Homo-oligomer: A and B are copies of this chain.
């Protein structure tokens, strides 16, 4: 237990928050009145404001919404979802099931964001030292193979050979012209891994963690903020699975992840106005 060192920001015990002012009848979120935001600022934009201190512009706002949508759910089989469902089957509260599900994101599952950013930062160090993006990607791939960090954080997937979420995010970043060195580097690393002789039998596409890590890097968001976006994004999925478990299934059932199927709507297209 570390001795308590008073923080510089907390002289004589007084401390501060720059997030939210809360006083009788008035709530400011980073300076903007909350009631004025309501109906004019979307939830995705408010999340960005709260985490960074400023509202996003149109392009970045659209990318933030896309990132938040990308991780919203991944079906009934991820261990985190099974955590939430197993809690729900015992009749736990929704809060209990959701909190438990949030805890089901260890370093092998959603923990890639921080590690992937570290790898990309190492690559950008090479770039600032004069290497091209292409060469930096090749060097990184070599190191990862050497240290046996395969699959590298941000790459590969249990079953997607091309993660549709990553593909779409990087495409959207490109369309919106907010993809810069991090996104370029991660594409470069993806190509270098695909070309590496030691990995010729492996499929290691960029996955959604990697795409989010890269795009957040290009948006100037810290790895911690990127990590927060992942958690925020998945909470609706955890809640939805917990509720479905309690509404459709009997309590205290044995949940076999290998014995389930999707019985929701067939594939359908978005309404015209959204295209």
Interface stretch, picked from A29-37, A131-139, A183-191, is A29-37
A172 to B18 CA separation, bound complex (whole angstroms): 28
Q: Which residues on B sit within 8 Å (CB–CB) of A99? A: 96, 99-100, 102-103
Q: How far is the CA of A12 from the CA of B226 in the complex (A)?
A: 37
Q: Which of A6, A9, A92 has the most CB of B within 10 A?
A: A92
Q: A20: CB under 8 A from chain B?
A: yes
Q: Which of A171-192 touch B at CB < 8 Å?
A: 172
Chain A interface residue number, banded? 35 or more
Complex contact A34–B228 (CB within 8 A): no
Q: Is the CB of A252 within 8 A of B74?
A: no
Q: Tell me if A73 is interfacial: C-beta within 8 Å of chain B.
A: yes
> What is the predominant secondary structure among interface residues of chain A facing chain B?
mixed
Complex contact A95–B91 (CB within 8 A): no
**CB of A231 closer than 8 Å to a CB of B:** yes
Is B86 in contact with A32, judged by CB distance below 8 angstroms? no
The minimal Cβ–Cβ distance linking A92 to chain B, given in whole angstroms, is: 3
Q: Do A105 and B90 touch across chains, with their CB atoms under 8 A apart?
A: yes
A46 lies within 8 A of chain B by Cβ? yes
A6 to chain B, nearest CB (A): 6
A199 proximal to B (CB < 8 A): no
Q: How far is the CB of A47 from chain B (nearest CB, A)?
A: 5
- Decide yes or no whether A19 CB sits under 8 A from chain B: yes
Determine whether the beta carbon of A36 is less than 8 Å from that of B270.
yes
Q: Is the CB of B231 within 8 A of A1?
A: no
Which residues, 11 to 67 on A, are CB-close (under 8 Å) to B?
Answer: 13-44, 46-47, 50-51, 53, 55, 62-63, 65-66
Question: What 10 A-B pairs have minimum CB-CB distances, sorted nearest first?
Answer: A31-B265, A22-B75, A91-B106, A92-B106, A18-B264, A90-B106, A90-B109, A43-B68, A7-B250, A35-B168
> Please, could you name 29 A-B residue pairs with CB atoms under 8 Å apart, sorted by A?
A1-B108, A1-B158, A1-B209, A2-B151, A4-B250, A7-B253, A9-B249, A13-B254, A14-B260, A15-B249, A18-B262, A24-B160, A29-B73, A37-B270, A40-B274, A41-B65, A50-B237, A79-B252, A82-B86, A82-B255, A83-B86, A90-B105, A90-B106, A90-B110, A91-B108, A92-B106, A100-B103, A232-B235, A256-B256
